[in-house]
Structure 1
Amino acid sequence: MRLVYRVTPRQRLIVLEHALQQMQAFAQHRWWHCEAGGVLLGRHLLDSHDVVVDEVSTPQHSDRRSRFGFFRSSKHEQVARQRWSQENSTSAYLGLWHTHPEPDPTPSGVDRRDWQQAVAGDTYEGERLFFPIVGTHCMRIWTLSRRGTFRELNLEKKNGNQETGAS
C-alpha cells in the first residue's frame, strides 16, 4: 500500500507503506500516549517531479514529548545525515511529521511556526517541504514552499475511489 498526493499538476508525493506504518505506529489512540514525530526521508525521482517518502525517523530519547506537545531534538538531523551518507547521497530530507491526539488533525500555530522555521532555515533539495500530522483516525499532509505557499495536499483518486489515509 502507498498513498499518493497531488502536490502540483506535475508533481506527486508518494508515501510508501513502510514510512506510513512507521508514522502510524505512534498514533495517539490512548489518553496516555504522548505526541511523537521525526523527519521524512526519501527521494526526488529522476526524470520526474515526483517525491517519494521511503522512511521516517522515529522518536528519540532526547525528544521532549507530552500529550499535547512534541519537541524534536537534533538527533533527528543526525539520523538524516547518516542516511544521506549510507545511501550514497540519494536519501533526502523531505520534511517533518508528528502526531496529534485528535481524530482529524489540524496544525496548531506552533506547528505552522515550526514549519516556517524549517523551510527558512533547513537545508533541503527542491522547492518545498512536507508536513504530515497523524491523528487517531486519519493522516493529513500540508506543504510549505520556499516562496511561502502553504496548503493541504489531497489524496489522488484511484479507479474512482479515493485512497484512505486512515490509521
Structure 2
Amino acid sequence: MLQYITNGRLKCESPTGQIFIIQASVLNNLKYFMQLKSSSPESGGILIGRTDINTKSKIIETFTQPMEGDRQTRTTFYRSKSHQHALKRIWIESEQSFNFQGLWHTHPEDTPSPSPTDLIDISNVINSISDLEDPVLYLILGRIKLGIWISFKNHKIMHLGYINIEK
C-alpha cells in the first residue's frame, strides 16, 4: 500500500507489515534525474536512511547520486564502488544510525518495470549483505510514474505500486 502522509512524505507498507517512509526531499530530488530528454542517461544510486526506534519504520532520508566510476547509457546504469564508500562515510558521520535501505535508478519509459538485469542486480546486492534481515526498497523512476518494490533476502521482488511524478 502506498499513501502520502504529512509534509509530502510517502508511506510504503508491504504485505508483511514492513513500513518505509520516503521523505519529501528525497522524492523531490529524485525528479532531477528523470529521463525526459532523448539524450538523458539512466541514473541511479543507493537509498540511505534510518530505522525509527519507536515504530521500526525505515525512514529514507537521502540517496547517492551518480558518481565517478559509474557507467551510464540511455538504457543502462552500473553503480561503482563509490556508492559503498559514500554510504560508509554517511554511516560514520551519522554515528552509525544511517545505513543502506535500498536501491534506485531511472528508466526511459513512462511506467517503469524491472528488467531482467535489474532483478539480478537487486538479488546480487541484497544477497551480498551478510547481516541483512529486513527487506529493502527498490525504486525505479520513469518519465511519469515512480515504481516501488521491496525485496527480501533470497526471495523475489514484490511490487507495492506506482505513484505519479510531476516534474
Q: TM-score, normalised by structure 2?
A: 0.89
Asked if 1:68 is matched to 2:75, the reply is yes
Specify the code of the residue in structure 1 equivalent to 2:136.
L
CA drift of 1:4 comes to 1.1
Offset at residue 124 of structure 1 (A): 6.0
8 Å Cα contact 2:126/2:132 also seen in 1: no
CA distances 1:133-156 after superposition (whole Å, capped 9, x unpaired): 00000101111102414211147x
Q: Specify every segment of 5 or more residues in structure 2 that has no aligned partner in the other structure, as ranges.
A: 1-7
1:101 aligns with 2:108: yes
Higher relative contact order, structure no. (Cα contacts within 8 Å, ≥ 6 residues apart)? 1
Q: CA deviation at 1:165?
A: 3.8
Q: Which residue of 2 aligns with 1:111?
A: 118
The one-letter amino acid paired with 1:34 is P
1:27 aligns with 2:26: no
Question: In structure 2, which of residues 91, 99, 112 is the aligned counterpart of residue 84 of structure 1?
Answer: 91
- Between stretches 72-81 and 144-153, larger displacement belongs to 144-153
Q: Which residue of 2 aligns with 1:135?
A: 142
Q: Considering only aligned residues, what root-mean-square deviation do their CA atoms show, in Å?
A: 1.6
What is the Cα deviation at residue 9 of structure 1? 5.2
In 2, Cα distance between equivalents of 1:28 and 1:124 = 35
* Partners of 1:51 and 1:125 in 2: CA distance: 14
Aligned residue pair count: 159
SS at match of 2:108: coil
- The alpha carbon displacement at 1:7 in A equals 1.6
* Counterpart residue number, 1:166: 165
What is the Cα deviation at residue 166 of structure 1?
1.3
Structure 1 residue ranges without an equivalent (≥5): 156-163
In the alignment, does 2:53 pair up with 1:54? Answer: no
Closer, same or farther: CA 100–82 of 1 in aligned 2, 3 Å: same
The answer to whether 1:153 aligns with 2:153 is: no
Give the partner amino acid of 1:49: K
TM-score for the superposition, normalised by structure 1: 0.89
1:43 counterpart residue number: 50
Query: Structure 2 counterpart of 1:114, which letter?
Result: D
